[in-house]
């Protein structure tokens, strides 16, 4: 990497662009520039590792040009302490400089990163949610599909007529709950939504700090879903509440689910680990959660894969390692932990 440029931030600044960075691994979360710089310089661990990598979106634009912003979707490997492997970041920056010089915007940039090993394409849900969030941040109008999604969630065309509702429209609606009557319409509609809408909608709401009233509805709704053994409805509620403003209600939701008959279901456990991971920073809840994982019998690899996923998260790691030494744990949990090291 060139002597002058030591970080991606410097590369973007040097090219004369305005930019912002997002984590898009678990939730889409805007990273402030100080935090991003500290991560880049290996001063702090990456806060939201997923599968051993940092999953980033870097949006940048030329202040002098009127073109839409550019976005790089990047994944970089992390070490065992979840610190960014700076050699891979350097390698990426070198490839950029060789391909584009410092002219990283403009027509000559198009297509130049297609085969770059650090570039990835997010899945359709993530991409729709990211596009919707960026439009809100830039104070731009929503996509052409938004109005029809609003009409659908108002109930006026019937909840069974979901086939014409576009994924991008659902994303725009979810990211604009504070507009018009979107929130109250969603609250009235929730219990009537078919699975074909509920699943993509919850994949959008997991990136939204939903208001307390919506989290309260989800807690009540989940009680009924537990009684009906409806794991699809439960996982949708967990995803939707995971980034909500009322994290205490999300904790209550997780506790209710873990203590219920579906508390050892693989989809439920994977959703809690992947989306409601902040609730597992509580050592007692983490203990109950890992005990449930140990008691799950259908998928042998579930416990080790969830352990490996959570131990990489800096705020959970010390509590999880503490569980290895804890004395008052069930025989089943002790055996599952023992198998990790055998």
In the chain, alpha helices (H)? 8-14, 33-40, 86-100, 124-137, 146-153, 167-174, 182-189, 195-205, 212-227, 231-241, 247-258, 266-275, 283-295, 302-311, 317-325, 331-340
Q: Give residue 66's pLDDT.
A: 61
Please state, in angstroms and rounded to a whole number, the distance separating the CA atoms of residues 284 and 258. 12
pTM for the full predicted model: 0.93
Lowest mean pLDDT among 84-98, 138-152, 198-212, 237-251: 84-98
Question: With the C-alpha atoms ordered 200, 203, 207, 211, is the resulting torsion angle positive or negative?
Answer: positive
Dihedral pair phi/psi, residue 57, rounded to 5°: -120, 125
* Mean pLDDT, residues 333-340: 94
Please state, in angstroms and rounded to a whole number, the distance separating the CA atoms of residues 166 and 124. 11
CB 248 within 8 A of CB 219: no
pLDDT band with cut points at 50, 70 and 90 for residue 287: very high
Please state, in angstroms and rounded to a whole number, the distance separating the CA atoms of residues 59 and 50. 21
Question: With the C-alpha atoms ordered 320, 316, 58, 38, is the resulting torsion angle positive or negative?
Answer: negative
Which tens digit of pLDDT belongs to each residue from 157-176?
Answer: 999 999 999 999 999 999 99
Residue listed under structure tokens 């205490």? 248
* Mean pLDDT, residues 187-199: 97
* Mean pLDDT, residues 183-188: 98
Is residue 2 scored above 50 in pLDDT? no
Is residue 50 scored above 90 in pLDDT? yes
* Mean pLDDT over the full length of the chain: 92
In the structure encoding, which two tokens stand for residue 95, read together?
């490839």
Question: Which residue would you say has higher pLDDT here, 326 or 216?
Answer: 216
pLDDT band with cut points at 50, 70 and 90 for residue 103: low
Side by side, which strands form the sheet with 53-62?
29-31, 17-23, 53-62, 70-77
Is residue 331 scored above 50 in pLDDT? yes
In the structure encoding, which two tokens stand for residue 247, read together?
């994290």
* Mean pLDDT, residues 2-11: 72
pLDDT band with cut points at 50, 70 and 90 for residue 293: very high
In the structure encoding, which two tokens stand for residue 25, read together?
């691994």
CB 255 within 8 A of CB 6: no
* Percentage of residues of the chain with pLDDT beyond 70: 93
Residues linked to residue 217 through DSSP beta bridges, in sequence order = none
Q: Give residue 97's pLDDT.
A: 80
pLDDT band with cut points at 50, 70 and 90 for residue 10: confident
Q: Give residue 116's pLDDT.
A: 84
* Mean pLDDT, residues 253-273: 97
DSSP string, 226-269: HHTT-HHHHHHHHHHHTT-S-HHHHHHHHHHHHTSTTTT-HHHH
């Amino acid at each position: 990497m060139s002597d002058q440029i030591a970080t991606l931030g410097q590369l973007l600044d040097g090219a004369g662009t305005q930019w912002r960075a997002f984590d898009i691994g678990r939730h889409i979360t805007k990273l402030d520039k100080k935090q991003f710089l500290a991560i880049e310089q290996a001063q702090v661990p990456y806060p939201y590792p997923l599968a051993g990598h940092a999953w980033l979106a870097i949006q940048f634009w030329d202040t002098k040009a009127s073109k839409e912003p550019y976005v790089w979707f990047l994944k970089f490997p992390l070490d065992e302490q979840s610190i960014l492997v700076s050699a891979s970041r350097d390698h990426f920056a070198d490839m950029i400089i060789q391909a584009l010089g410092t002219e990283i915007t403009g027509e000559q940039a198009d297509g130049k990163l297609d085969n770059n090993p650090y570039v990835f394409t997010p899945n359709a849900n993530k991409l729709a949610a990211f596009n919707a969030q960026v439009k809100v941040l830039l104070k731009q109008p929503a996509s052409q599909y938004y109005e029809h999604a609003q009409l659908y969630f108002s109930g006026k065309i019937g909840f069974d007529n979901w086939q014409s509702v576009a994924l991008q429209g659902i994303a725009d609606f979810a990211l604009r709950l504070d507009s018009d009557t979107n929130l109250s319409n969603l609250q009235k509609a929730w219990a009537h939504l078919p699975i074909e809408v509920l699943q993509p909608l919850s994949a959008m709401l997991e990136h939204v700090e939903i208001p307390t009233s919506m989290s309260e509805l989800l807690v009540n709704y989940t009680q009924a879903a537990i009684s009906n053994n409806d794991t699809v409805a439960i996982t949708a509620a967990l995803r939707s509440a995971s980034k909500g403003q009322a994290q205490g209600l999300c904790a209550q939701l997780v506790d209710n689910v873990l203590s219920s008959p579906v508390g050892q279901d693989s989809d439920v456990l994977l959703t809690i680990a992947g989306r409601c991971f902040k609730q597992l920073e509580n050592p007692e809840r983490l203990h109950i959660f890992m005990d449930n994982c140990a008691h799950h019998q259908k998928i042998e690899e579930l416990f080790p894969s969830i352990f490996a996923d959570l131990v990489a998260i800096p705020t959970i790691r010390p509590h999880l390692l503490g569980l290895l030494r804890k004395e008052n744990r069930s025989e089943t949990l002790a055996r599952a932990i023992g198998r990790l090291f055998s």
